[in-house]
A and B are shown apart, each in its own frame.
Chain A
Amino acid sequence: MRAIVSTSAKIGFGSPYELNHRELVPFRHDRRCVADFEVLTLACFKQLLGETEEISGRGCGLYFAGAKDTLQLDVDFSNELFDADDRVNALTTMAEGLNPLLPLNKLYNIGLYLAAKEGIECWRHCQYTNHKHADYSALAAAVRDVCSGTVEVGFAVFARASGGFELPQESIGAVGVRVVACNEAGDRTSDAVELSARPQPELLLELQRLHADGGGAELAVELPDGTC
């Protein structure tokens, strides 16, 4: 069985900023850039949700990949992407004083909140932070759980700030992927990419390329041993 990954992805890069070790001490981070990062990530997820058809039965899985190297104090939720309820949730979060501690968790929590607001129940959830391969872990988990029937739809959201080792240090970005299952008759598109043993970040960059080429592309995913 193969899974088709529809690249309903929103990709953005921007807000270059200088980074040094000292700036990562809590309470000293560049607020503006990290806020951009958060808005970008959540906007990506919102777009995926907005394009989701009604999900029945087993609901969805949400798989976040990202790094905790984004310590921040403030998030600008005045962005038009977020309505009043979103801002309330975000402010509640910030009132807990958790921002310097768990930025990725906060993103993740707001992601769950956005899903719940759309009436989508998350049956599986995970967030991955393992350097080069977090994106792969998140996508592989989404494909695995979709193919096993654990969830009906998988959302994998990949986020990067400060570039990690694989993206330019001055870049931030986010990519979201919706995963639905297909049967063996599902044809690959001309843009199909084998992911079976594919290290990241090629996946992220490939998604970026496909999206730049017009979006809506599909990736055929085959996990090792053809088990999914």
Chain B
Amino acid sequence: MTKALITGVGAVCPLGWGIDKCWDDTVAGRSGTARLEIVEVGADDCKVAGQVPARNGTGYESSPLRLLDFYRFAETEALAQAGLERESVVRNPRARAAVASHGFAWKIDEFTAACRGKTVNGIDLSEYVRRPQEGAHEGIGADFSERYSGITTACSAGGVAVLEAGEIVRSGLADIVITGGVDANINEVIVAIHSRMGVLTRHNSTPESASRPFDVTHAGFVIAEGAAVLVVESERSVEARGAQPIAELAGWGTAVSTAHLTAGSEGGEIQALAMQRALDSGGASVDDIDYINMHGTSTEDNDISESEGVRKVFGKTAPPVSSTKGVTGHLLGGAGALEAVFGVMAIHTSTLPPTANLNEVDPRCSLDDYIADGARHGPCRGMLTNSFGLAGSNASLLLRQP
């Protein structure tokens, strides 16, 4: 069975454009969350978001079509690192793409105006006003035709897309898979709905520190946007090209909870199952794991149940854990992919990023080592990254040194 190797990564997130900027700020604990500016929301709705800064340095990206800009930038960066040209990948019948996204923002009038007259594969993009999710995937994956998979398992989608890439490579269906996640869903409807669900942060007065995973004051997540892309290749392809892998996508596990649509499973049992399956599928043991990038949304429910899940798998020997959502916020369908990219960087740079805004661990979060006071430096042989979503979808990825 061939290995699935990662040869390139790229990212755009509220911290900025490009993996270097995103990673440096994450390691430094510099927050990318801020007061919500790109849309006007209701008086009772959350006023904090992780908005991607404009590339010209002024304000934020607010184009209704920015989702595709984010994705293309991250994809270009990842392919460049991998030493691949997009056109050659698209033409390669042994190449595929699997990307998570939940679609364009729904500022419908603006969106319609922006799309008018633009076509993809001969279809008027304004048609996508009716189907923003399909429109996003058409824009991302049209060049790959039936070799493209668009994945929509809510907040686990980014992780599920990456494991899909692993499945495709490991089963021999393709040699190269472009994978990742992208969302740009900060809009009045999404913010209103999530606010009314009670899952968004209530720390409106301190937007830069509003995402507080595992902290005793965690009070909901910060909705964010951006994209992350990874290039996953078979050993055969890597060897043939003389490429340099930066990490191995060594295993993955999924598990589903049917107990409740939004809540985590009782005691983190289902999350634990996903993590254990990831270890098993990579032939790894708990001793092989030096770090876990947690889903860590900054909601009480997730932070507590995920911690319990880790404890169920690792017992008292759980490795250091952190949530990078403290600085990025929650990229929804992009989150799992961004955190997989951060996992690759942790391995590649021997650096474990901290959890920003974690000053006092919630005593109900049951682990012993939440990285809080700055990044740690040292070898990271293997790590897990978790992505959990609404609708009971849980995914865990195992990454390790190539």
- Shortest CB–CB separation between residue B124 and chain A, in angstroms? 11
CB of B309 within 8 Å of the partner chain = no
CB of A218 within 8 Å of the partner chain = no
Q: Show 16 A/B contacts (Cβ-Cβ < 8 Å), sorted by A.
A: A68-B132, A98-B197, A101-B194, A102-B391, A104-B152, A105-B390, A109-B392, A124-B254, A128-B151, A129-B134, A129-B137, A131-B134, A131-B135, A131-B137, A132-B146, A144-B171
Contacts of B173 in A (CB 8 A): 140, 144, 223-225, 227-228
CB pair A102–B154 under 8 Å, yes or no, is: yes
Alpha-carbon gap, A128 to B151, bound state (A): 5
Alpha-carbon gap, A68 to B164, bound state (A): 20
CB of B196 within 8 Å of the partner chain = yes
CB pair B130–A130 under 8 Å, yes or no, is: no
When A21-B108, A26-B189, A131-B138 are in contact, do A69 and B131 touch as well, CB less than 8 Å?
A: yes
CB of A7 within 8 Å of the partner chain = no
Contacts of A82 in B (CB 8 A): none
- Shortest CB–CB separation between residue B304 and chain A, in angstroms? 19
- Shortest CB–CB separation between residue B80 and chain A, in angstroms? 25
B114-132 residues at the A interface, CB under 8 angstroms: 123, 127, 129-132
Interface string of A97-119 (1 = CB under 8 A from B): 11011101110110011011000
CB pair B171–A228 under 8 Å, yes or no, is: yes
CB of B54 within 8 Å of the partner chain = no
B365-397 residues at the A interface, CB under 8 angstroms: 390-393
CB of A41 within 8 Å of the partner chain = no
- Shortest CB–CB separation between residue A86 and chain B, in angstroms? 12
B interface, CB within 8 angstroms of A = 93-94, 102-103, 108, 112, 123, 127, 129-135, 137-138, 141-142, 145-146, 148-154, 160, 164, 167-168, 170-173, 189-190, 193-194, 196-197, 254-256, 258, 260-262, 277, 390-393
When A69-B133, A102-B154, A150-B167 are in contact, do A97 and B197 touch as well, CB less than 8 Å?
A: yes
Interface string of A130-153 (1 = CB under 8 A from B): 111110110011001101101000
By size class, the interface of chain A is: 35 or more
Q: Indicate the member of B137, B141, B146, B164 with the most A CB atoms within 10 Å.
A: B146
CB pair B261–A98 under 8 Å, yes or no, is: yes
CB pair A24–B149 under 8 Å, yes or no, is: no
CB pair B167–A145 under 8 Å, yes or no, is: yes
When A97-B196, A108-B391, A224-B93 are in contact, do A129 and B256 touch as well, CB less than 8 Å?
A: no
Residue of A nearest to B263 (CB): A96
- Shortest CB–CB separation between residue A3 and chain B, in angstroms? 12
CB pair A127–B261 under 8 Å, yes or no, is: no
Interface string of A161-204 (1 = CB under 8 A from B): 01011000000000000000000000000000000011110000
CB pair A126–B151 under 8 Å, yes or no, is: yes
Q: Per a CB cutoff under 8 Å, which of A113, A115, A144 touches B168?
A: A144
Interface string of A44-72 (1 = CB under 8 A from B): 00000000000000000010000111000
Contacts of A227 in B (CB 8 A): 171-173
Alpha-carbon gap, A134 to B148, bound state (A): 9
Q: Indicate the member of A98, A130, A132, A199 with the most B CB atoms within 10 Å.
A: A130
CB pair A96–B258 under 8 Å, yes or no, is: no
Q: Per a CB cutoff under 8 Å, which of A19, A126, A140, A150 touches B160?
A: A126
CB pair B391–A225 under 8 Å, yes or no, is: no
Alpha-carbon gap, A92 to B262, bound state (A): 10
CB of A17 within 8 Å of the partner chain = no
Contacts of B260 in A (CB 8 A): 92
When A68-B103, A106-B261 are in contact, do A130 and B93 touch as well, CB less than 8 Å?
A: no
CB pair A130–B148 under 8 Å, yes or no, is: yes
Sorted nearest first, the 7 A-B pairs with minimum C-beta distance are A130-B150, A69-B131, A105-B391, A68-B133, A130-B137, A109-B391, A137-B149
CB pair B172–A126 under 8 Å, yes or no, is: no
- Shortest CB–CB separation between residue A116 and chain B, in angstroms? 4
Contacts of B262 in A (CB 8 A): 96, 98
Alpha-carbon gap, A131 to B139, bound state (A): 10
Q: Per a CB cutoff under 8 Å, which of A93, A125, A165, A198 touches B261?
A: A93
Alpha-carbon gap, A21 to B107, bound state (A): 12
Alpha-carbon gap, A81 to B190, bound state (A): 32
CB of A122 within 8 Å of the partner chain = yes
CB pair A92–B261 under 8 Å, yes or no, is: yes
Alpha-carbon gap, A165 to B262, bound state (A): 32
Contacts of A205 in B (CB 8 A): none
Contacts of A134 in B (CB 8 A): 150
Residue of A nearest to B281 (CB): A150
CB pair A67–B391 under 8 Å, yes or no, is: no
CB pair A68–B149 under 8 Å, yes or no, is: no
Contacts of A113 in B (CB 8 A): 258
